[in-house]
Amino acid sequence: MSEVVSIQWFPGHMAKTRRLMKENLKMVDIVVELRDARIPKSSRNPEIEKLVGDKPRMIVLNKSDEADPNATAKWIDYYEGYGVKTVAIDCKSGKGLNKVVSTAKEILKDKFDKLAEKGIIGRPVRMMIVGIPNVGKSSFINKMAGGKRAKVEDRPGVTRDKQWVKVEGGVELLDMPGVLWPKFEDPKVGEFLAFTGAIKDDILDIEHLAMRLLELMAKEYPKNLMERYNIKEEEIQDLDGYDLLMLVGRKRGFLVSGGNINTERTAITVVDEYRSGKLGKISLEMPPQKNKPQKAEDFDD
């Protein structure tokens, strides 16, 4: 079994994001936190609960088309069991996007009914959109706005400053820069974030990352692994991450002089194919199986 590597990453602009969030909370009605449906727990920022406080909130599980649908359904049930409305979407296809606004309005119904009683009618619903880097916030906002309104790049940490975006249905979105937290208490969190591309690849050992991913797939999704790389079940029995990487490299014909396996090329291929969904619908996390915590903000711990 390959060792879990501890990953720490907290660029200076992320401290600025925390301040921006706190300062702008009073300007919005609800906080919408985007998470990666493949890693709902690891793609949360535990500081968001502290920053949001009593402000209404909802969770949006993006990239649901790349996640195991059974796992996603269990996560939705889990979060809603704690009273946190949760919607699964996929920004690439637009699946589930229509539920975001309707769910937000459902959550805010009492507030807007009271505003109507005071004669305030037609005020837009103001939503703060938050989430870690590369979770798809810009793609989400662009889809909601019907065009490219936010800068989108396939690398973490692109959105650096807040921006307001008006969308149909009487809604205004406040886009906040992606933010991670200073320390990952559980090293697996950093690892899962690295698998999905939320952490910059240039600070990682890509071969070690691929070995860990292959180990996880061999345990939880062996059929996906066998189908993608034309591997027989008996070939992956009791193999560790290094041997799995060598096996995939050999199956793909990634050879260098002397007939050796090009492990770097193999590792890059494995990680890229996972991130692009070519390895199938894979969820790396399932909801915790334990008693309900005392405080609502602790439901992810």
User: What DSSP designation does 134 have?
Assistant: T
- Cα separation, 35 vs 265, in Å, equals 29
The arithmetic mean of pLDDT across residues 143-161, rounded, is 57
Q: What is the DSSP string of 57-76?
A: EEEEEE-GGGS-HHHHHHHH
pLDDT band of residue 169 (cuts 50, 70, 90) is: confident
Q: Name the H helices within the chain.
A: 12-24, 46-52, 69-80, 97-107, 109-117, 137-145, 187-196, 206-220, 222-229, 241-252, 263-275
* For residue 250, pLDDT beyond 60: yes
Q: Helix or strand or coil: residue 32?
A: strand
* For residue 297, pLDDT beyond 90: no
* For residue 273, pLDDT beyond 70: yes
Element (H, E) at 31: strand 30-36
Burial class (CB in 10 A: 0-12, 13-18, 19+), 223: exposed
pLDDT at residue 6, rounded to an integer = 54
pLDDT at residue 127, rounded to an integer = 95
More confident residue, 56 or 49: 56
pLDDT at residue 50, rounded to an integer = 80
* CB of 92 closer than 8 Å to CB of 65: yes
pLDDT band of residue 157 (cuts 50, 70, 90) is: very low
pLDDT at residue 21, rounded to an integer = 80
pTM of the model: 0.84
* For residue 65, pLDDT beyond 80: yes
pLDDT at residue 153, rounded to an integer = 42
pLDDT at residue 179, rounded to an integer = 67
